[in-house]
């Protein structure tokens, strides 16, 4: 962990990025009711409690929604590319990219990682035929 990396600056999200640096996908898990949530928040969306821990998830899920970005929005993201909302098997949905093939709404996907220079890797997803 370094305090010069802006992705680590928020204590609520720091555990997510520290795990991502190890290629581990972690989401918050409520120690009171067991609810999983993403993105990280200071309280549980299910019970309102603040007794939140972190749990590594399977990295398996299904495409909940999908679109294609056709205009450039930032460096490292050359259009066109798919932007998907992936529903993890543990419940939370993540805004992400589909890589290494194409996927449609409802298709099974699995976790991959997009490594970046000077920033933590991003969790992305690829088609999961198995």
Contacts with Zn ion, residue ranges (CB under 5 A): 30, 32-33, 35, 44, 46-47, 49
Nearest distance in Å: CB 76, Zn ion: 35
What's the length of the chain?
Answer: 130
Query: Which residues, 6+ apart, have CB-to-CB distance to 125 below 8 Å?
Result: 61, 63, 84, 86, 96, 97, 98, 99, 103, 109, 110, 111, 112
* Nearer to Zn ion among residue 28 and residue 97 (C-beta): 28
Q: Least distance (Å) from Zn ion to the CB of residue 30?
A: 3
In the complex, the smallest distance separating the C-beta of residue 26 from Zn ion, rounded to whole angstroms, is 17
Q: Which lies closer to Zn ion via its Cβ, residue 41 or residue 116?
A: 41
CA–CA gap between residue 85 and residue 110 (Å, rounded): 13
Tell me the closest approach of the beta carbon of residue 91 to Zn ion, in angstroms.
12
Nearest to residue 89, comparing CAs of 54, 59, 114? 59
Q: What is the largest CA-CA distance in the chain?
A: 43
Which ranges of the chain does DSSP label H, i.e. alpha helix?
Answer: 14-21
Beta carbon nearer to Zn ion, 49 or 53? 49
Residue 44 or 109 with smaller CB distance to Zn ion? 44
């Amino acid at each position: 962990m370094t305090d010069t990396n802006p992705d680590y600056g928020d204590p609520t999200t720091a555990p997510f990025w520290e795990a991502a640096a190890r290629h581990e996908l972690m989401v918050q898990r409520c120690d009171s009711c067991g609810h999983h949530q993403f993105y990280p928040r200071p309280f549980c969306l299910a019970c309102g409690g603040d007794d939140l821990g972190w749990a590594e998830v399977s990295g398996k899920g299904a495409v909940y929604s999908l679109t294609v970005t056709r205009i450039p929005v930032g460096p490292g993201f050359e259009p066109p590319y798919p932007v998907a909302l992936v529903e993890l098997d543990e419940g939370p949905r993540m805004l992400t990219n589909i890589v290494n093939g194409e996927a449609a709404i409802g298709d099974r996907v699995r976790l991959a990682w997009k490594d970046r220079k000077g920033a933590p890797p991003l969790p992305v997803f690829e088609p999961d035929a198995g």
